[in-house]
A and B are shown apart, each in its own frame.
Chain A
Amino acid sequence: MFRSRRARIRSTVTAIAATGVLALTACAGGSGDEGSDGPVTLDFAFWGNDVRAEMYDEAIAAFNEEFPDIKVNVSFLGFPEFWEKRQIESTSGGLPDVMQFDYSYLRQYSENGLLLDLGPHLGEGIDTDPIDEKILDIGVVNDTTYGIATSTNAWTLYQNPKLLESIGAAPYEGGGSWEDYTDWVQATTDAAAAAGQPIYGGTDFTGRIQNFELQLRAQGSYLFNDDGEPGFDEDDLRAFWEQGAPFREGAGVPQQRLEEVYPLSGFDSAITASELTWDNFGAGYLGNLGEGYTELLLVEPPITEEGAKDLYLKPSMLHTISANTEHPEEAVELLNFLVNAPEVGAAFGTNRGLPASETQLEGVELGGLEAQIQEYEESISDRLGDPPAVPIVGYGSLEEKFRVIGTDLGLGVVTVDEAVEQFFTEMDVVLNQ
């Protein structure tokens, strides 16, 4: 209104031109790093904390000594944020070249074509000799290898010897039946009460889906098969959750007490003397328990069926390469180094679990706990069966639902029947996605 028509047209043209220039500059920025034969830059992402970040720095420095022409941009986040970011990136082909990867996402990402088929590189760029066949199989989805496991862990029963000593109780010997273990927990809780200490024998094991899986495997079944079909029905689940009744009636630590210390577990907080979990949790336990505790005990979990191969080795993490990488050869070099190099073993110790590759294991100086874990994994070798099918899409949320229902059972807000119904409803939703 204030200005003439011509002036207005002029300003409109300027505005359009300016927008165009902006867009052009932006485009130029996008194609900047193409067509260079010299140094190659790879993006590498992992989840972890400051401690692990320093270990990776050391590992990448060792890699650069061998491959000075490959520059590695390292990026890291906490576990949930890491996956949030990957989920968004995967929509636009923006995934990092090499990734530390979690087993539970392997199926989803590989079935969506986001990961590089490592098959042609096995034995070529990736040295497979030092890795057990069974462990290599872990990274296979629908007959194609998409990931290499860095390390493995197995299900175990951790105990806190110092805590047991303080209440004058003997540790659980390992094995035995689930009832034996329940009785031992009750006895330990009683002993603690007699000693006047607010300590408990253990946590309700029916809160963890892995214990359910263990019992199913012992009976020749599984949680989910490759087609995503469950290997159990309502009655199986009901029977399992009913085993937890003695714990909820006072044998184990009250759920309310556990809520107070969450996100730490009862075992982390020195209020329970035993916990069933993955064997790579040991270092974390010691860290969270603090300086007063230096020793842990690990024994095999209770046996459901004598002679059954119910335990298995799970990858604590894998390494994968994104399908859209511009430098697959170099990415393979990096992956191979991270999986096999003894220098990497030296940098990490067992931070990522017990190294799966023998050459990498050679670089690891096994301390007290690490040696114990290695011994443990050797001791259970005749109970080790084939790994289960790669987790179905949505397994993570089912595992979490299982945990939440376990908490509700512990708090007494749902009955076992209601719990079973809730879980099956959730499972329907996840399986039919």
Chain B
Amino acid sequence: MTRSTKKLLNTILIEIVLITISFIFIMPIILAITMSLQPPEGVFSFPPKFFPSSFHWKNYVDAFNTVPFGRLILNSLLIATMITAGKIFTGTLAGYAFANFKFRGRNFAFSFLFATLFLPAETIMILPLFNLMNKFGWVNTYWAMTIPFMASATNTFLFRQHFMTIPSSLEDSARIDGAGPMTYFVKILLPLSKAIIGGATIINFVYAWNMYLWPLIITMEDNMKTVQIGVRMLISAESANNWGIIMAGTMIAVLPTLLLFFTLQDLFVRSLVRSGIKE
């Protein structure tokens, strides 16, 4: 066999494997979409149907009627937006401090922040965090769902790394022009960081939108819950009977992040790799 035929065979083999695997991977989402459009008689047909016999949009209406999804979507949007904004705000400021200033205690502050990477408070420390929220009177409020998560080591490092790549001559000339540290930060540093802020925004948003354990325990009333919990509520309400309706609810919960991902895939992937690899 010549080398080029061998290469061709190799390519064909890879194509086949990749087609099969990507098919398997996307299948759950496609089946969820088709199931969400199945009329009741299609849901229970055996063997399971692939395509809905007719587009039964009523499943979506029913999902909204069973669980207050409208309100839950608003909650999730609000919470995810607040957490994202908070993380970007605190992260750019702290990143700026670490990247552009020499100060006493810098190494200590850095390690102190770094250690939190391995202390996922919203999972390990749920009980004391819950008690603290109780003390603050924040149980079942937006505060409890947002403020504790408004700072993170990953965001700080991401911005610090980025700010360090910006030539210090820019800062020097800004200072000569009489610009103070805040002017330089707002007028020069931030505009030069648009791409990285954009990437961090979507990653943080998806993270916050997908939170589960904390909203589950800190919310008491249905109208304070998030869409993630809403899907759980829908499963119990339907007692796992009408999967058309459950999958409609699932699509409602997953569509925003999925659309964000499909439209901004490159930015997503690039930022994820940048924020994930630690120095």
Whether chain B is bound by chain A comes out as no
Residue numbers of A with Cβ under 8 A of B are none
